[in-house]
Amino acid sequence: MQTNNTTQKRVLITGAAGFLGSHLSDRFIKEGYHVIGMDNLVTGSMKNIEHLFPKKEFEFYFHDVTKFVHVPGKLDYILHFASPASPIDYLKIPIQTLKVGSLGTHNLLGLAKEKKARFLIASTSEIYGDPTVHPQNEEYWGNVNPIGPRGVYDEAKRFQEAITMAYHTYHGLETRIVRIFNTYGPRMRLNDGRALPAFFSQAIEGKDITVFGDGSQTRSFCYVDDLVEGIYRLLLSDYVNPVNIGNPDEITIKEFAEEIIKLTGTDQKIIYTPLPTDDPKQRQPDITKAKELLDWEPRVSRKDGLKITYDYFKQILAKVAG
Ligand code: UDP
């Protein structure tokens, strides 16, 4: 625990009101850091961080990082987690998605250079596109459609990795790149169109469970606490190249829907609707690097993680209904 104010580390977390940003804010406060959360609330929600407002270790800036970013005082770390992160967001706000990954990252790299702060970016398994290599390791370059509906996210994130690496090699900035695979847990946005919130809300509200395509596409879901632990370890490590963080426990989307039907006890049925364009067929992280470099691997089983997440969605939907 760092409690002394002169030595207390200061970390800027962009996207702090989002799903991952809010959990990271919690973690850094728990570790004794001073956290400066930044968000423009395009996809984030104040509800995710309202519990942090009474804490003196937390301050919040309402700001769009695609505009010049100013933060007074020292900064030890910058974690750039601001970005839409769901396929329906890319369709609704494609330009903002591109800008936050490109212009936003450039502004924050400038800030990191000025403050001599270590910079960590939230990259993604989406940089692998619809992968032709399985499982995906960090050496795989990907199979991305730049002009498809996901291109705005995938290419922004690829640019983000490129410019971050350039700041490292050209300016000697300390940088870290985490490639995040599908992650779930409390504070996921209810209507973000992703499989897990969709299935839970449909099951709880008594609607048909919408599986896209024939449901044979796979994903590997990581519980949020495991992800945060991996990111925390990566930040404090001295490894500069990208590291996959995710849970290798792969499942088809049809089986995933069936697990949620069983857990919720709903009598709703699966209905099959068209598969969105460029929806990756198979996704599973190779986490050898994270194991070797960070001594990290996921600890929370899908069974346990889903139970906690189900309780969260029940509560949220009861509030919405009540
Ligand atoms: N999906 C689905 N029904 C839904 C929402 C998503 O079958 O109501 C599918 C989607 O097509 C994809 C998988 O579930 O194959 C995971 O989707 P999500 O949006 O959660 O993550 P991503 O595709 O970005 O990995």
Q: Which residue ranges make up each domain of the chain?
A: 10-184+222-248+284-299
Residues labelled catalytic: 153
The predicted pLDDT at position 254 comes to: 98
**Ligand 1 pocket check for 272: Cβ under 6 Å:** no
% of the chain with per-residue pLDDT over 70: 98
**Ligand 1 pocket check for 209: Cβ under 6 Å:** no
DSSP string, 87-116: HHHHHHSHHHHHHHHTHHHHHHHHHHHHHT
**Ligand 1 pocket check for 217: Cβ under 6 Å:** yes
**Which of 200, 212, 247, 281 to probe ligand 1 with, by most ligand atoms within 8 A of CB?**
212
Q: Which of 4, 46, 52 is nearest to 28 (CA)?
A: 52
Q: Does residue 1 surpass a pLDDT of 90?
A: no
Question: H or E stretch including 307?
Answer: helix 302-321
Cα–Cα distance, 224 to 181 (Å, whole number): 11
pTM of the model: 0.97
Residue 1 CB partners (closer than 8 Å, separation 6+): 31, 32
| Mean pLDDT, residues 129-135 | 97
**Ligand 1 pocket check for 40: Cβ under 6 Å:** no
**Ligand 1 pocket check for 157: Cβ under 6 Å:** no
Helix axes 19-30 and 224-236, enclosed angle (nearest 10): 60
**What spacing in Å lies between the alpha carbon of 163 and ligand 1's midpoint?**
29
Asked whether 250 and 125 are in contact (CB, 8 A), the reply is no
The least confident of 48-57, 250-259, 310-319 is 310-319
The β-bridge partners of 79 are 13, 120
Atom number of ligand 1 nearest to Cα 192: 19
- What confidence tier does 4 reach under pLDDT thresholds 50, 70, 90? low
**What spacing in Å lies between the alpha carbon of 134 and ligand 1's midpoint?**
19
**Ligand 1 pocket check for 210: Cβ under 6 Å:** yes
**What spacing in Å lies between the alpha carbon of 210 and ligand 1's midpoint?**
10
At 15-44, the pLDDT tens digits run 999 999 999 999 999 999 999 999 999 999
Mean pLDDT of the chain: 96
Longest CA span, the chain: 58
Residue 5 CB partners (closer than 8 Å, separation 6+): none
At 223-254, the pLDDT tens digits run 999 999 999 999 999 999 999 999 999 999 99
**Ligand 1 pocket check for 87: Cβ under 6 Å:** yes
Q: Does residue 3 surpass a pLDDT of 90?
A: no
The least confident of 14-23, 104-113, 265-274, 313-322 is 313-322
| Both structure tokens of 52 | 């942090």
**Ligand 1 pocket check for 85: Cβ under 6 Å:** no
**Ligand 1 pocket check for 276: Cβ under 6 Å:** yes
The predicted pLDDT at position 225 comes to: 98
Residue nearest to atom 3 of ligand 1 (CA): 211
**What spacing in Å lies between the alpha carbon of 211 and ligand 1's midpoint?**
8
Cα–Cα distance, 291 to 279 (Å, whole number): 28
Distance of CA 90 to CAs 96, 144, 156, Å? 9, 15, 11
Contacts 24+ apart (CB under 8 A), 287-290: 287/244, 287/245, 287/246, 287/248, 288/137, 289/137, 289/138, 289/243, 289/244, 290/230, 290/234, 290/243, 290/244, 290/245
Cα–Cα distance, 17 to 49 (Å, whole number): 6
**What spacing in Å lies between the alpha carbon of 198 and ligand 1's midpoint?**
9
Asked whether 57 and 29 are in contact (CB, 8 A), the reply is yes
The predicted pLDDT at position 239 comes to: 98
Q: Which CATH superfamily is domain 10-184+222-248+284-299 in?
A: NAD(P)-binding Rossmann-like Domain (3.40.50.720)
Q: Does residue 160 surpass a pLDDT of 60?
A: yes
Q: Does residue 81 surpass a pLDDT of 90?
A: yes
Residue nearest to atom 6 of ligand 1 (CA): 195
| Mean pLDDT, residues 287-294 | 98
**What spacing in Å lies between the alpha carbon of 7 and ligand 1's midpoint?**
44
Q: Three-class SS of residue 202?
A: helix
- What confidence tier does 47 reach under pLDDT thresholds 50, 70, 90? very high
Between 293 and 191, where is the model more confident? 293
| Mean pLDDT, residues 3-20 | 89
Residue nearest to atom 25 of ligand 1 (CA): 182
